Chains A and B, each alone.
Chain A
Amino acid sequence: MTATLLQYSPRQLRDTLLTRGAAMLVIAVVFTLPILMGAVRIPPNGAAVLLDGTLSAMSPFLVMVATYGIIGEDVRRGYFRFLFAKPISPVLYYAQAFLAALIAFLAAQLIVVAVFALVVEPAWPERWLLERTVFFLSFGSVIFALSRVLPIDWLIGWLLFGVGSEVRDWYPVSESLRGKVFNVVFPPSHLMESGLFPVEGIEWGHVAWVVGYAAMCLAIGLSLVRFVPFGTQR
């Protein structure tokens, strides 16, 4: 079963790139064009910082495009019928689809890095792969978990991050039990806003929190795939 799905993985990646690649490239162009056109002044020795900022700014949009409807589209459009009449595990299928989305996301960012190197100057943001992968996991996993049960997963995912920030301001963790609960339930947007990988030193506790939250969301999403029957609508 696993071998079958591994053989299928290049096709899953191709589907992700074909159906979502164009939108991801548009996002990359929108964020990069001002720099490429020379509208943004590059500080001396600051190309890597500028590139890092650009890649960070476009990341939420790229993750959204890479993951929206990742499970839900197959259910709503009925593609699941032929797919899951075959001897494969839907759980592994969607875990692999999530991985394909991560690769597409990183590929879009690498294209930006390559174009930046050609047009501006070669630069490589420090800890790019680690930082972007953790970001993808944190935001993408929330959309993934929502995708099985909600049609506008990307919007609700976005709202959860936004509402999480506000709720943490209203109910500080140190002041009430409610604050502690909200802190666990809502996505760790407060940790991501301040940057998980500052040059002065990585807060590994924060990284573990973000990755742990992502793992929990992925587990919820995969459990929904496993336990909620696909044909729930009549």
Chain B
Amino acid sequence: MIEFVEVSKDFRNFLPPRTTHALEGLTVTIERGEVFGIAGPNGAGKTTMLALALGFLEPTRGTVRIDGERPRRHVEKAGVAYVSELVSIPNWWTVTGALMRYSVLAGVEQCDRARMVHEAIERLGLEEHRSKRIKQLSKGNLQRLGITQALLSDSDLVVLDEPTHGLDPLWTQRFRDIVTDLRREDRAIMIASHNLDELERLADRVAILDRGSLSRIAGSHHAVSGEILRYRLVLAGEHESVEAMFPGAQRIDNARQVAYDVSGDIEDLNARLERFLAEGGRVQAFFPAQSRLEVAFREAVGEE
């Protein structure tokens, strides 16, 4: 659906003369039905990549196409459900007023507008703020309003730039549910985020950008047989055979619980866990100590 072919974007400054290479030779295709994550340190080019997809920027070199069209043309024809990192809405508008306006622009039929706005307000928990002016909203509520306006359109492309920026943990979780609901066979979803955990939960693939270049694309997040990863094993009580059962297990000293970091292939670890439980060991939790995406990210940006 979205194709970036050898895309580079330079920003030129005249005083003082300086050129910043925001993106360099990016080639990637995002398909319908996919949730595509974009990760990277600050200044890696995540927002630039999304701005190119929306046609808010033109590439310096290379091409960006959405269904074979220039992004701007596609957006003007079909629209995009877009949440920007910084939610900018005129501060004298009210919450309901802003959503009614965006619904008009999104092409929602007049007879459906009030209902759709009402439902979107309820879904994002903005009922008590519906009459407030934008300037009266907290950062988190403003971010929720940004998400709400994106939900008003039934676009086949969803572009989310740091969508959980400023959201509390409860709404961050609800936002994940919303993205899960947005998944559709004919829809592509792009999410740029600093939050690797969020991307790991939501995205099918994650592009890791570093200083404007695509370092790698991390794929499926299911552990693959043969891959050595680090997991945390939390026990319900002390057990003498842990270290014998899991060679190389490292006790986590500062934890207020009995916990170990163990490494290994998932098949092997499952077999060991089975034996451990059979010998009377009691496991409280077993989860990745470091996500695969985090590992990929650290490798991609050159950090151990």
Binding site for B on A (CB under 8 A): 1, 4, 7-8, 11, 15, 18-19, 77-90, 229-234
Contact = CB atoms under 8 A, between A and B. Distances in A.
A26 B78 CA distance: 43
B47 to A, nearest CB: 9
Contact of A231 (B57, B90, B146, B149): B57
B92 interface: yes
A8 B102 CA distance: 9
A8 B77 CA distance: 17
A84 B56 contact: yes
B51 interface: yes
Nearest to A18: B92
Given A7-B104, A7-B110, A86 B20 contact: no
Q: 6 tightest CB-CB pairs across the interface, nearest first?
A: A78-B88, A231-B56, A87-B79, A85-B82, A86-B105, A231-B51
A84 B102 CA distance: 10
Interface of B: 11, 20, 22, 48, 51, 54-58, 72, 75-82, 84, 86, 88-90, 92, 101-102, 104-107, 110, 146, 149-150, 153, 159
A223 to B, nearest CB: 14
Given A18-B92, A79-B90, A229 B105 contact: no
A90 B82 CA distance: 16
A86 B92 contact: no
Contact of A78 (B55, B86, B105, B159): B86
Contacts of B106: 86-87
8 contacts: A8-B105, A19-B92, A81-B84, A85-B150, A86-B102, A87-B79, A231-B51, A234-B48
A1 B88 contact: no
